[in-house]
Amino acid sequence: MTNAAAHRALETLGREWTGRGVAVECGCWLGASSVALLRGLVAAGYDRPFYGFDRWAANDSEVAKAADQGMTLAVGQDISTEWVMNALLVYPKLRARRGNLGAMRWDGGPVEVLVLDAAKREPIFSHVMGEFVPSLVDGASVVLLDYGYWRRFEGAQADALRCQERWVVAHEGFEYLAPVGEVGAWFRYREGGK
């Protein structure tokens, strides 16, 4: 779940949209981060489809998170309608893509804004980045909402969750810009590692 600081950062990021590609979020859950990003995109004149990828089937952890916020979910419940209803309050051109991120494919053209709040572990993270990086426009914004999440753990679990940091370090073209919330990071992508 994203906090108010992350929402402010996502809205700011959305306001920087220039019209060279679409915006995509992987791991939308109920849509709080989508709504924040969409507010900024709409202010910038966004007029393209907004793509949301998620499995949209509540698990035990998500049921507990929702209960902490006063919302009742059941394990296995389809929560895509909640995402759509929340995001529609801000923007109408939504494209919900349901499924396992480890098997997803990208065919939606150039991407200017990419937000990942899922794909916390390998091999899924590398698969998702492999699908999107070839479509990133020069100067694209890439937000990894779980970039520093690994610091909350120790040992093997911390090591497994550190995959995002290791991936960014190993690939040219990602310039760190700013924190996003407590553990996220905003990067600018430059083609050819410029």
Residue 30: count other Cβ atoms within 10 Å of its Cβ: 24
List the structure tokens of 88: 């529609």
pLDDT at residue 1 in the model:
59
pLDDT at residue 2 in the model:
80
Closest CA to 26 of 110, 170, 144, 178: 144
| 132, 114 contact by CB (below 8 A) | yes
pLDDT at residue 98 in the model:
93
* Domain locations along the chain: 4-193
User: Is residue 66 over pLDDT 70?
Assistant: yes
| 103, 124 contact by CB (below 8 A) | no
Share of the chain above pLDDT 90, in %: 75
User: Is residue 193 over pLDDT 70?
Assistant: no
List the structure tokens of 77: 């419940």
- B/e letters for 133-157, b = 16+ CB within 10 Å, e = fewer, are bebbbeebbbbbbbbbbbeeeeeee
pLDDT in tens, 161-180: 899 999 999 999 999 999 99
120 confidence band (pLDDT: 50, 70, 90): confident
Count Cα neighbours of 18 within 13 Å in the Cβ-side half-sphere.
Answer: 9
pLDDT at residue 157 in the model:
87
137 or 65, which is more confident? 137
pLDDT at residue 150 in the model:
87
Q: What is the phi/psi pair of residue 138, to 5°?
A: -60, 130
Average pLDDT over the chain, rounded to an integer: 93
User: Is residue 61 over pLDDT 90?
Assistant: no
**Going by CATH, does the domain composed of 4-193 fall within 3.40.50.150?**
yes
pLDDT at residue 58 in the model:
87
Mean pLDDT throughout 113-137?
94
